[in-house]
């Protein structure tokens, strides 16, 4: 957004956190919300567009509506999975809710929210675009160099431990144990891990130095690494959808301390599955170990079985291809559809200020 000319009031990306980790940054966020309130009062923009991150952005939307400013919320909060009691808030503080999953429009609509399915932005770019081609990467990935054919029984595994510092700290250690078991079964296996930044790549390398496992680390280029791989070992979340877009088999793991899960996590989640692809499929299309705690051996056995049986990977790939068909763009890109919804709200008069305090009608 900054590169496109947006003036940043703050850049809180490095402060993103989940669950208990978010509590430590509460003071910062409350201060930022105060700055946002003052900015909106001063600028009186035609529309406010909060994007994702409902813990903060529902509050931003509440501030905007209290000032009489229309709100077009982009990326609907996943209330169908957790915290359904926030529905009243969503209905009160949004004029238009832009959904990125097909079933969400009906789900929110039946609760009185003006919801519109705009498509998922991840699917706007072609899955076979130049930046998804592993042969274009420098240096080349293992087995892609000219004359460097992968030997028999030399599988390729892509590893996605997460984008946040806390995610990597939790997910990478058990993933490394899984990788060690896979290495024992397939000595010629190639591992490539993906990091979102040099800082996170350094964190991954720090973990690797404490083990005997070797892994090539690449920054960005997620799609190219997915295309390269035979199988992906990934954390849960949007990453699973990005992998599914390429019809690649995967095993999903998300490490959570047992006490955190039993204290709060299992009471907040109200879906049978947690992995996004399994939620969309309404069955365990891909193996998921979420929450993960305990021995990594069951995960390792799952990875080894998939690598040992190409027919299982082929069947999973076929199922993933069917799963993502409804998400493929039809005509306009998601960003265009959101821009249209923003345009509709820009034509409105500034709304009267409303009371959006909890419990208000």
36 with 63: CB under 8 angstroms? yes
The Cβ of residue 309 has, within 10 Å, a number of other Cβ atoms equal to 11
pLDDT of residue 2: 86
Q: How far apart are CA 159 and CA 179, in angstroms?
A: 9
Say how far apart CA 136 and CA 134 lie, in whole Å: 5
Query: So what's the architecture of 42-123+331-346 in CATH?
Result: 3-Layer(aba) Sandwich (3.40)
Which is it for strands 156-160 and 231-234: parallel, antiparallel or unpaired?
A: parallel
CATH 3.40.50.2000 assigned to domain 130-327? The reply is: yes
Name the pTM for this structure: 0.84
pLDDT of residue 147: 46
130-327 has the same fold as 42-123+331-346: yes
State residue 26's pLDDT score. Answer: 75
Q: Residues 168, 204: contact at Cβ < 8 Å?
A: yes
- Would you call 331 helix, strand, or coil by DSSP? coil
| Domain range summary for the chain, segments of one domain joined by + | 42-123+331-346, 130-327
What are the per-10-residue average pLDDT scores of the chain (361 residues)? 88 59 68 92 94 90 94 93 87 96 94 95 87 89 68 85 92 95 94 95 94 91 96 94 96 77 57 86 93 88 96 97 88 91 80 52 38
């Amino acid at each position: 957004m900054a590169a496109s000319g947006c003036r940043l009031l703050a850049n809180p990306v490095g402060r993103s956190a989940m669950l208990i980790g978010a509590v430590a940054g509460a003071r910062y966020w409350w201060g930022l919300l105060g700055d946002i309130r003052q900015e909106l009062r001063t600028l009186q923009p035609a529309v406010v567009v909060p994007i994702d991150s409902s813990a903060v952005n529902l509050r931003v939307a509440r501030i905007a509506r209290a000032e009489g400013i229309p709100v077009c919320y982009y990326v609907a909060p996943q209330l169908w999975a957790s915290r359904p009691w926030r529905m009243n808030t969503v209905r009160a503080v949004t004029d238009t809710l832009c959904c990125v999953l097909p079933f969400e429009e009906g789900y929110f609509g039946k609760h009185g929210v003006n919801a519109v399915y705009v498509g998922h932005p991840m699917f706007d770019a072609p899955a076979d675009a130049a930046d998804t081609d592993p042969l274009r990467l420098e240096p080349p990935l293992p087995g892609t160099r000219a004359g460097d054919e992968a030997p028999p029984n030399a599988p390729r595994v892509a590893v996605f431990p997460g984008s946040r510092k806390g995610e990597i700290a939790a997910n990478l250690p058990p993933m490394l144990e899984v990788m060690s078991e896979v290495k024992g079964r397939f000595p010629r296996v190639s591992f490539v891990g993906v990091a979102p930044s040099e800082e996170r790549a350094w964190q991954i390398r720090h973990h690797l130095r404490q083990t005997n496992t070797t892994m090539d680390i690449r920054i960005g280029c997620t799609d190219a690494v997915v295309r390269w791989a035979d199988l992906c070992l990934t954390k849960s979340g949007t990453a699973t959808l990005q992998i599914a877009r390429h019809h690649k088999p995967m095993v999903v793991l998300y490490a959570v301390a047992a006490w955190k899960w039993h204290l709060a996590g299992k009471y907040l989640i109200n879906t049978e599955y947690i992995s996004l692809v399994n939620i969309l499929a309404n069955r365990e299309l891909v193996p998921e170990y979420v929450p993960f705690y305990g021995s990594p051996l069951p995960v390792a056995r799952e990875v080894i079985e998939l690598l040992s049986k190409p027919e299982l990977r082929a069947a999973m790939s076929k199922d993933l291809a069917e799963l993502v068909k409804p998400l493929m763009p039809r005509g306009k890109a998601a960003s265009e559809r959101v821009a249209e919804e923003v345009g509709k709200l820009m034509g409105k008069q500034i709304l009267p200020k409303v009371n959006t305090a909890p419990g208000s009608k």
